[in-house]
Amino acid sequence: MSKPIRVGLLRLVDSAPIIVAEAKGLFRAQGIDVEISIEPSWANIADKLTYGILDAAVMLPPLALAACAGLRGPKARLVVPMSLSQGGNAIVASNAAAASLTEGGAQPRLLLLEWLRSHTERPRFAVVHAFSTHNLLLRYWLASGGADPDRDIETVVIPPEQVVASLAAGSITGFCAGAPWGEVAERQGAGKILLGTSSIWPFHPEKCLCVGEAWAEANPGLLQHLLGAVLRAQILCDQPDEAEGIAALLADPNGLNLPEEACRAALPGGAGAELIRFYTREAWFPARAHAQWFLGQMKRWKWLDEMADLNAIAAQVYRPDLLAAAVEAEGLYAAAGLPELEGAAMLPMPDDEAFSPQLR
Amino acid sequence: MKVLLADDDAERAGAVARILAADPGLTVVRLKSGDSLADAVASLAPDVVLVDMARPDRDALDGIRQVAALNTRPVVLFVDEDDPAFMEEAINAGVSSYNAIGMPPPDVKPILRAAVALFRRHQQAHDDLKQAEGRLLERAVIDRAKALLIKQRRMSEPDAYKYLRRTAMSSARRIVDIAQDLIRELEGSGA
């Protein structure tokens, strides 16, 4: 066996496929040795992938794209050969804010403008990273309710494990974060889940597996085995029968040390408001249409300039071709059929794109 | 030039601050433990920010220009594109550096280089300490196994040690691992 493949991840439920693949011996079954590195921040993941200190990592798709588009320094050379999960984030508000936003059982989006108008100071919302699915979906949702996220709220970045305490302490009005933190906020009485992000964009891609382009090119065999093991783990992660055991794995004090019940609630068959999917509905397929949507939102908010070639960036970073060998070797999908999946990728309803800020 | 130093390890932060303060052109401000990194960047407007990579709040500096309050001075990650080996060294030492947009990299690099040197020295000292602690722990485990052999198998101390060593050699494992297994076995037997 050669030296281990170094895979980075954060303490989140959607890191499950890597944790499960290691615990169930799926990496070993592929003849590869994986060393898992639990990182404290997304910035660490991005930096370590860029400089080859990590070979692969569980990643936020918008951060991978932003790094490659040059939004956090020189353009990084990273590729996304597979998606890891769909859904699982929650938009959460303090109890008082949630009461105003859901008055009379209304959809929070409909009461959003009125609620914002009642504030003299901009309400403060936390996301886990500027270039996160969470931030882009929160902004998209606010805009679809007629608000301008740059003008009408203040956005702060707070590590996921600290959002619940910040909400309880009143230093933020709400947050958008991944599982299990929305569930934890409700269980601790710090706030209420307004909506799961799947109601904004059904089957939205959440985490992806990201690898350094140089590593992928130099190690096609290792990459295929890594992807094969992760695909097998994704299948397990999607089975409700397995969820209890997986929640226990995620709660291991020597591992991710996550709250077990809240993890169980976010896994398939769980009781949570928003569930994570890992495999079904081609959750594993890295559709370029998804990358284009994320990039389109970054252009919409003027993070990327008008001239940026979104299709070129999407094609450079999202590499379903790198997945072909693994899906075929595992007998999961005919490689020839992969391009068709591109057409089946779901996007949010285009109606919601009508963005006209109405406030003040 | 103002340097904001975000490192909760007081000893290491003190050492970095002292080294940098030797340059009369630098003012070093240390982030108070528990204070928000993003707020400090907004209120102090540093030219350079040195950050311990073990901090989870480092994410607040990524894309600060895209999300933060309008009055925040934008900062960017310092990267020396011509010297990837140095960048790797800095990440391995566990320190990253941000600078105000428009700062020429030659001004930033010596500051980061000094921090990297201190972080590495600290890491080395930490590793040495861990290793020493580990060795002490191993000795305690071996002593415990010996005591059990003496008590339960009526061995003399030299024989108990020889027994452990022989078992380790014949199974190509470390003595401490053999001792660990033995403790589990003998203590588990409830004798």
State whether the Cα torsion A283-A287-A289-A293 is positive or negative. Answer: positive
Instruction: Please state the three-class secondary structure of A177-192 as a single string.
Output: ECCCHHHHHHHCCCEE
Ranges of H-type helices in B100-156: 105-152
Check whether residue B90 and residue B174 sit in a common domain. Answer: no
C-alpha closest to that of A263 among A277, A245, A274, A250: A250
* Residue B135: per-residue pLDDT: 86
Q: Which helix (H) or strand (E) holds A81?
A: strand A78-83
**Chain A contact for B60, CB < 8 A?**
yes
**Contact with chain B for residue A129, Cβ under 8 A:** yes
The nearest CA of chain B is from the CA of A122 a distance in Å of 11
- Pair (A11, A153) in one structural domain: no
Interhelix angle A133-144/A288-300, nearest 10 degrees: 60
CATH assignment at residue B40:
3.40.190
A57/A47 Cα distance (integer angstroms):
11
Q: Is A336 part of any domain? A: yes
SS3 B27: strand
Percent of chain B at pLDDT exceeding 90: 61
**Are A180 and A261 in a shared domain?**
no
Distance between CA B100 and CA A317 in Å, rounded? 28
Average pLDDT of chain B, as a whole number: 89
Q: Which range marks the domain in which residue A49 is found?
A: 5-86+204-344
Residues 6 or more apart whose CB falls under 8 angstroms from that of A354 comprise A144
Beta bridge partners of A198: none
Residues A194 and A129 in one domain: yes
Average pLDDT over residues B40-63: 92
CATH number of the structural domain spanning residue B146 = 1.10.10.10
Instruction: Evaluate whether residue A275 is within a structural domain.
Output: yes
pLDDT in tens, A15-49: 999 999 999 999 999 999 999 999 999 999 999 99
How many Å apart are CA A157 and CA B68, to the nearest integer? 9
- In this complex, which of B54, B64, B69 lies closest to A40 when CB atoms are compared? B54
- In the block, tokens 């009143």 appear at A170
Query: Which CATH number characterizes residue A50's domain?
Result: 3.40.190.10
For residue B104, name the pLDDT band (cuts at 50, 70, 90). confident
pLDDT of residue A353: 55
Q: Based on the domain organization, do B29 and B112 belong to the same domain? A: yes
Backbone region of residue B94 per phi and psi (left: phi > 0; alpha: psi in -120 to 50; beta: other values): left
DSSP-derived letter for residue A161 is H
- The reply to whether A274 and A293 lie within a common domain is yes
Strands A56-59 and A208-212: antiparallel
The C-alpha atoms of residue B86 and residue B56 are separated, in whole angstroms, by 23
Q: Which has the closest alpha carbon to A87: A196, A238, A220, A248?
A: A196
Are B59 and A159 a contacting pair at CB < 8 A?
yes
Which residues make beta-bridge pairs with A156?
A: A126
In a shared domain, residues A24 and A136: no
A100 and A81 within one domain = no
pLDDT at B75: 85
**Do B48 and B117 belong together in one domain?**
yes
Residues B6 and B86 in one domain: yes
Other Cβ atoms closer than 10 A to A254: 5
pTM comes to 0.87
Task: Return d(Cα A24, Cα A34) in angstroms, integer.
Answer: 13
Residue B74 has pLDDT above 90, yes or no: no
Q: Say if A291 falls within a structural domain.
A: yes
Cα of B54 to nearest chain A Cα, Å: 6
Q: What is the structure's pLDDT at B68?
A: 67
* CA of residue B70 relative to chain centroid, distance: 34
Is the CB of residue A159 less than 8 Å away from at least one CB of chain B?
Answer: yes
Domain that holds residue B146: 129-188
How many other CB atoms are there within 10 angstroms of residue B11's CB atom? 10
Instruction: Tell me, yes or no, whether A352 lies in a domain.
Output: no
pLDDT of residue B20: 94
- Quick one: B39 and B69 in the same domain? yes
User: Quick one: A107 and A47 in the same domain?
Assistant: no
- What's the pLDDT at A359? 44
B115 plus B146 within the same structural domain: no
**CA torsion through residues B41, B43, B47, B51, sign:** negative
pLDDT bin (cut points 50, 70, 90) of residue B187 is: confident
Q: Are both B122 and B138 inside the same structural domain?
A: no
Give strand pairing partners of A193: A92
B121 and B133 both lie in a single domain = no
- What is the interface pTM, i.e. ipTM, of the complex? 0.88
pLDDT confidence of residue B106: 85
360 residues of chain A, pLDDT tens digit each: 578 999 999 999 999 999 999 999 999 999 999 999 999 999 999 999 999 999 999 999 999 999 999 998 889 999 999 999 999 999 999 999 999 999 988 889 889 999 999 988 999 999 999 999 999 999 999 998 889 999 999 999 999 889 999 999 999 999 999 989 999 999 999 999 999 999 999 999 999 999 999 999 999 999 999 999 999 999 999 999 999 999 999 999 989 999 999 999 999 999 998 999 999 999 999 999 999 999 999 999 999 999 999 999 999 999 999 999 999 999 998 888 898 899 888 888 755 555 555 543
Chain B residues with beta carbon closer than 8 angstroms to that of A159: 56-57, 59
Exposed, middle or buried: residue B134 (CB in 10 Å: 0-12, 13-18, 19+)? exposed
Whether A336 and A307 share a structural domain: yes
The alpha carbon of residue B156 is apart from the nearest alpha carbon of chain A, in Å, by 38
pLDDT at B146: 93
Q: How many Å separate Cα A205 from the centre of its chain?
A: 7
Question: Is residue A98 in some structural domain?
Answer: yes
Do B85 and B113 lie in one domain? The reply is yes
> Is A235 found in the same domain as A170?
no
pLDDT digits (tens, 9 = 90+) for A149-208: 999 999 999 998 899 999 999 999 999 999 899 999 999 999 999 999 999 999 999 999
Domain count, chain B: 2
pLDDT attached to residue A105: 87
Please name which of A161, A120, A180 lies closest in space to residue B56, comparing C-alpha atoms: A161
The burial class, CB within 10 Å (0-12 / 13-18 / 19+), for B68 is buried
Yes or no: say if A150 and B69 are a contact pair by the CB < 8 Å rule: no
pLDDT digits (tens, 9 = 90+) for B146-163: 999 999 999 999 999 999
| Residue A170 falls in which region: left (phi positive, over 0), alpha (psi -120 to 50) or beta | left
Contact criterion met (CB < 8 Å) for A43 and B61: yes
Q: Are residues A9 and A71 in the same domain?
A: yes
Beta-carbon separation of B38 and A156 below 8 A: yes
Of the candidates B108, B127, B146, which is a domain's last residue?
B127
Same domain, A78 and A215: yes
- pLDDT tens string B117-176: 999 999 888 888 888 888 888 889 999 999 999 999 999 999 999 999 999 999 888 999
Residue B190 has pLDDT above 60, yes or no: no
- What is the CA angle B26-B28-B30, rounded to 5? 170
Quick one: B142 and B108 in the same domain?
A: no
Q: Looking at the complex, does the CB of residue A47 fall below 8 Å from at least one CB of chain B?
A: yes
Contact check, Cβ <8 Å, B87/A51: yes
- Hey, which residues does A7 pair with through a beta bridge? A36, A56
Residue entry with tokens 């566990």: B94
Contact A63, A42 (CB under 8 A): yes
Residue A229 sits in the same domain as residue A313: yes
- Considering the domain boundaries, does residue A358 fall inside one? no
Q: What is the number of structural domains in chain A? A: 2
Strands A124-127 and A154-157, sheet pairing? parallel
| B56 touching chain A per CB within 8 A | yes
My answer on whether B38 and B50 are in the same domain is yes
- What pLDDT band is residue B94 in, cutting at 50, 70 and 90? very high
Same domain, B9 and B63: yes
Pairing of strands A191-196, A174-177: unpaired
The token pair at B58 is 């480092």
Neighbours of B130 (CB within 10 A): 10
A65 CA to chain B: closest CA distance, Å? 13
Strands B27-30 and A78-83: unpaired
Statement: residue B64 has pLDDT above 50: yes
Partners of residue A154 on adjacent β-strands: A124
- Note the pLDDT of residue B69: 57
Contact B56 A40 (CB under 8 A): yes
DSSP state of A352: G
